[in-house]
Chains A and B, each alone.
Chain A
Amino acid sequence: MTAPADAAGTVFVIDDDASVRRALERKLRTAGFRVETFESAQDYVARGPQAEIACILTDVRMPGMSGLDLQVSLAQAGRALPMVFITGHGDIPTTVRAMKGGAVDFLPKPSSEREILAAVAEALGRSAVIERERRELGSLRARYEALTAREREVLALVAAGLLNKVIGDRLGVAETTIKVHRGRVMEKMGAASLADLVRMSERLGLAPGADPARR
């Protein structure tokens, strides 16, 4: 087993059994992951660990807060991470609940190394994707924030598919002025094409036809 491509990821291991915790920590660490262990879900919540790319590997059934409870709690707090569950007595309802909550995998206990590493790698991969998207969205927002109010208006209407002339009429300015604004928006947002600009506005949550300035 080779170390995953994105070895920068951190695995948060939560298990109330010290032996299991130790064994998982060793397995993941020697496989090239960064690992942090927690003896309970409460412990995890209290310590609130941070990592850009991370996933949680947790036992389902633990004294106090269960793995499923943690999943719900993190989602509510907006701190969700890809989660891999391990259970010695998985039943279908529990599995369904976990998967609906966005679990990456649901492993029986004991599981083979291949299954565990594959599940963790996938969870970290998912975390990496999420992280990249999060970063992209952040830079997009920053660029959007740099637009003037007029430019944002123009962007919304352009993204809604209106022609320069119609936009000019609606905003009560000349078509040529709109053309200038549009060129500035394309440049500031770093859009290569109109289609690119439309996609960006969608990601920013600017509904077609909506006027973000009036929100």
Chain B
Amino acid sequence: MASRLPSTMIDPARAVPAPEPPSIGELLAFERLLAELSAGFVNLSATSVDDAITDALRRIVGLLDVDRANLIGFAPQTGETYLTHSWTVDGFASAALRSVSGDFPWAIQRLQAGHPIVFSRLDELPAEAAADEATWRRFGVKANLTVPMTVGGRIEGAIALASFRRERHWPGELVSRLRILAEVFGNALAYKRARESLDSAMKFERLVSEMLAALLTTDRAEDRDRVIEAGLRNMALFLGAERATLWERIGASPEFRKTHRWLAAGVPVPPDQAGGVAIAWINAQIGAGSVVRFASRADLPPEAAADLPALRELGVRSLVIVPLTVAGAVVRALSFATVHEERDWPAALVPRIALLGEVLGSVLARDEAHRREQEARAQAAHATRVGAMGAFAASLAHELTQPLAASLANAETGARLLAAPEPDLDELRATLADIVADERRAGDLVQKLRRFLRRGEVERGELDLREVLEEVLQLVGREAQARGVRLRLEIAEALPKVVGDRVQLQQVVLNLLSNAIDAVATEDRPAREVAVLAGRCGDGVSVEVRDSGAGMDGETLARIFQAFFTTKPKGMGLGLSISRTIVEAHGGTLSADSAPGKGSTFRIELPLRPSRRAA
């Protein structure tokens, strides 16, 4: 019988005489156990696999009348051997679940080579197994059967049966059945590992996608900072880190500065280090696009020695830091650290952290681009606004001169009236009232101009369209008159207020009016008119600027909204393009309708409230 065991080390001369082969009943019971376990393990959740295995071990102990059954695992990365599950009959102390690498050097080697360990008495063990024998003796083991556990063709552990109360024989059928049992266990463990890794990956993906969703629906910079900090916190908790930091590269320099950070409770705030952190080696690695990770400061290579003082000062025990690249350049870095104890950051984490970094990086880069675009747009808008106003400069100067001239005239008249022997007080009062009214009128105009020409932030507010349009008409009215153009304003009753930026919308109307005046002023006909019509349209409002000018052909009409397209000798060709951008930023549309000889109509349609993302 012993000869049927592969590579057995049992000396047949010393073998305990086989008492009896296992009964049919015993074998049937074992078959039933196998079948039940195989079926039962399939529907288990990852967390209940451990309990199921321990329970199976208990049943084996009972069925085979042994005193203890153990499941042993070989950790592939560390090479350690752990006792992962164990069951002991009543009356004996339970086994501690711990590393047993040092206790069974000979046996582990044999098992990893695919051989079972079978002995009926301790003195069957060969001389090489002296250390192992001492351990078994210490634990009180009198007989033992251990078979390797194979998962997907790889030996990942073993199942061990031990007898404390007596020496005993292990039938060959039992050994082969135990191997099958080991396979069932192995599959269950593999399943558990896969589930765990899947769960963890899914949890991670969920965290990242939640954060991304939060970032994409957050407009305000402060809110965004909070979302990022919350994201760092969730990731740090998920990864078991005590400190999570998002870094931004300082210009083109090799150094980084912190932009967002999360600290676990009880983790001290690291001292802020002026002029960046003195970790030149780490910075160089990150700058070159490499990941830096160490479980302990002692793991750092000698070249990194200069970084140690700063790391010590920051209290970093272990660290993983991943560079984030945008268009091939490292612009940010994301780091997770522990400060209380050392810990390993498996390489498998790096792609996840990089994914997280990519999400953060792209959102932040998008913000940055958005901000730059806004700035450029505001500048262009301001330039065209100033340009547009420049065309009206002479008229506006005249408009401003009128009240000033009137009030100067009145002031001097007043002084003369006062100097009379019996001043005419009624006349004086009227004079002063006129002065006040004219000064107010001049002040209003200056204020409107200043507001219009200001290079300012976009300010959203509720606007009365009538007020907005009347102000623009006042600004251009003089010029229109001087050029013989009549302006007609028609506003529907009870027009609802719109939400928008007054100056920007006025700029659009001014631009359209200015174009319309140009279009009709060159016409040689008596009735030169530009009409501004405001009314409701659907859920919003519309403003139309209609001229009776020469109109445009289809080719011109198709190009008027393009930047730098102009039909005017001194035009920049930005007016309509910027106007359209402004209207669209308000969630509206700007369209044109024209035909040669039929004049042109420009139509602005605005929703009452622009969408959230609109700039």
B18 contacts the other chain (CB 8 A): no
Q: State how many angstroms separate the Cβ of B406 from the closest Cβ of chain A.
A: 4
A79 at the interface (CB under 8 A from B): no
Q: What string of 1s and 0s marks CB contacts (under 8 Å) between A81-115 and chain B?
A: 00000101100000000000000000001111100
Are B409 and A89 in contact, CB atoms less than 8 angstroms apart?
A: no
* Cβ B427 vs Cβ A30 within 8 A: yes
In the complex, which residues of chain B have a beta carbon less than 8 angstroms from the beta carbon of A23?
405-407, 409-410, 413, 434, 438
Identify the closest chain A residue to B404 (Cβ): A110
Interface check A149, CB cutoff 8 A:
no
Which A residues from 99 to 142 make CB contacts under 8 A with B?
A: 109-113, 116
Do the beta carbons of A88 and B412 come within 8 Å of each other?
no
Q: How many Å from the CB of B312 to the closest CB on chain A?
A: 75
How many angstroms from the CA of A31 to the CA of B431 in the assembled complex? 14
A interface bracket (residues with beta carbon within 8 Å of B): 20 to 34
Q: Is A50 an interface position by the 8 A CB rule?
A: no
- Residue B572 is within 8 A (CB to CB) of chain A in the complex: no
Q: Find out whether the CB atom of B416 lies under 8 angstroms from the CB atom of A19.
A: no
Chain A positions within 8 Å of B406 at CB level: 17, 19-20, 22-23
Assess whether A110 is in contact with B427, with CB atoms less than 8 Å apart: no
List of B residues within 8 angstroms of A27 by Cβ: 409-410, 412-413
Is B391 on the interface with A (CB-CB < 8 A)? no
C-alpha gap A20/B398 in the complex (Å): 12
Contact indicator B427/A88 (Cβ below 8 Å): no
| B interface majority secondary structure | helix
Q: B481 near A: Cβ within 8 Å?
A: yes
CB pair B397 A89 closer than 8 Å: yes
User: Quick one: closest B residue to A86, CB to CB?
Assistant: B405
**B441 partner residues in chain A, CB cutoff 8 A:** 19
Residue of B nearest to A66 (CB): B482
B52 beta carbon closer than 8 Å to chain A? no
Contact B398–A22 (Cβ < 8 Å): no
Give the docked Cα–Cα distance between A22 and B407 (Å).
10
Residues of A within 8 Å of B401, CB to CB, are 88-89, 109-110
Residue contact B410 to A26, C-beta cutoff 8 Å: yes
Contact status A89-B398, CB under 8 Å = yes
Question: Per-residue CB proximity of B427-438 to A under 8 Å, as 1/0?
Answer: 100110010011
Closest Cβ–Cβ distance, residue B94 to chain A (whole Å): 104
- In the assembled complex, B424 has its CB within 8 A of some CB on chain A: yes
CA distance A116 to B293 in the complex (A): 88
Residues of A within 8 A of B438 (CB): 19, 23
Mask, B464-484, CB within 8 Å of A = 1, is 000000000000000001101
Contacts of B394 in A (CB 8 A): 89
Contact in complex: A112, B427 (CB < 8 Å): no
Give the shortest distance, in Å, between A71 (CB) and chain B (any CB). Answer: 18
Task: Check: B417 CB closer than 8 A to any chain A CB.
Answer: yes
Question: Is there a chain B Cβ closer than 8 Å to A61's Cβ?
Answer: yes
Contact present for A88 and B397 (CB under 8 Å): yes
B481 touches A109 (CB 8 A): no
Closest to B420 in A: A30
Cα of A31 to Cα of B424 in the assembled complex, Å: 12
- Does A112 lie within 8 Å of B405, measured CB to CB? no
Residues of A within 8 A of B176 (CB): none
With A23-B410, A61-B398, A61-B482 already in contact, the answer to whether A88 and B405 are too (CB < 8 A) is: yes
Distance A68 CA – B413 CA, assembled complex (angstroms)? 28
Indicate if B408 sits at the interface (CB-CB under 8 A): yes
Which residues B381-431 have CB closer than 8 A to chain A? 394, 397-398, 401-410, 412-413, 416-417, 424, 427, 430-431
Complex-state Cα separation, A26 to B406, whole angstroms: 10
Known: A17-B402, A19-B434, A88-B401. A30 touches B409 (CB 8 A): no
CB distance from A70 to the nearest CB of B (A): 16
What residues of chain A lie closer than 8 Å to B402, measured between beta carbons?
Answer: 17, 19-20, 88, 109
Contact with A along B291-306 (1 / 0, CB 8 A): 0000000000000000
The complex places the Cα of A78 from the Cα of B417 at a distance, in Å, of: 38
A1 in the interface (beta carbon within 8 A): yes
Do residues B412 and A112 form an inter-chain contact, with CB atoms below 8 A? yes
A113 touches B413 (CB 8 A): yes
Residues of A within 8 A of B434 (CB): 19, 22-23, 26
B-side contacts of A31, CB under 8 Å: 413, 416
Complex formed: what's the CA distance from A26 to B435 in Å? 12
Shortest Cβ distance from residue A43 to the other chain B in the assembled complex, whole angstroms = 15
Report A24-54 residues with CB < 8 Å from chain B CB: 24, 26-27, 30-31
C-alpha gap A17/B407 in the complex (Å)? 12
* B410 cross-chain contacts in A, Cβ below 8 A: 23, 26-27
Q: Is the CB of B409 within 8 A of A1?
A: no
For the complex, give the distance between the alpha carbons of A116 and B431 in Å.
Answer: 18
CA distance A86 to B406 in the complex (A): 12
A20 to B394, CA, bound (A): 18
B215 to A: closest C-beta gap in Å: 56
A172 close to B (CB within 8 Å): no
Kindly report which residue of chain B lies nearest to residue A31, judged by CB atoms.
Answer: B416
B417 A20 Cβ-Cβ under 8 A: no
Given A24-B409, A26-B431, A30-B417, CB of A63 within 8 Å of CB of B404: no
| In contact, A113 and B409 (Cβ under 8 angstroms) | yes
Chain B nearest CB from A155 CB (Å) reads 53
Complex CA distance for A67 and B267, rounded to whole angstroms: 84
| Chain A residues within 8 Å of B484, by CB | 63-64
List chain B residues, Cβ under 8 A from A88.
397-398, 401-402, 405
Interface residues of A (CB under 8 A from B): 1, 17, 19-20, 22-24, 26-27, 30-31, 61, 63-64, 86, 88-89, 109-113, 116
Residues in chain B within 8 A of chain A (CB atoms): 394, 397-398, 401-410, 412-413, 416-417, 424, 427, 430-431, 434, 437-438, 441, 481-482, 484
Instruction: List 27 A-B pairs, Cβ < 8 Å.
Output: A17-B402, A19-B403, A19-B438, A20-B409, A22-B434, A23-B407, A23-B410, A26-B413, A26-B427, A27-B410, A27-B413, A30-B413, A30-B416, A31-B413, A31-B416, A64-B484, A88-B397, A88-B398, A88-B402, A88-B405, A89-B397, A89-B398, A110-B404, A112-B408, A112-B412, A113-B412, A113-B416
The 6 A-B residue pairs whose C-beta atoms are closest, nearest first, are A110-B405, A63-B481, A88-B401, A113-B412, A19-B406, A23-B409
Additional A-B contacts beyond A26-B430, A27-B413, A110-B401 (16; CB < 8 A)? A17-B406, A19-B402, A19-B406, A19-B438, A20-B409, A23-B438, A26-B410, A26-B431, A61-B482, A63-B484, A86-B405, A88-B398, A88-B405, A89-B401, A109-B401, A113-B416
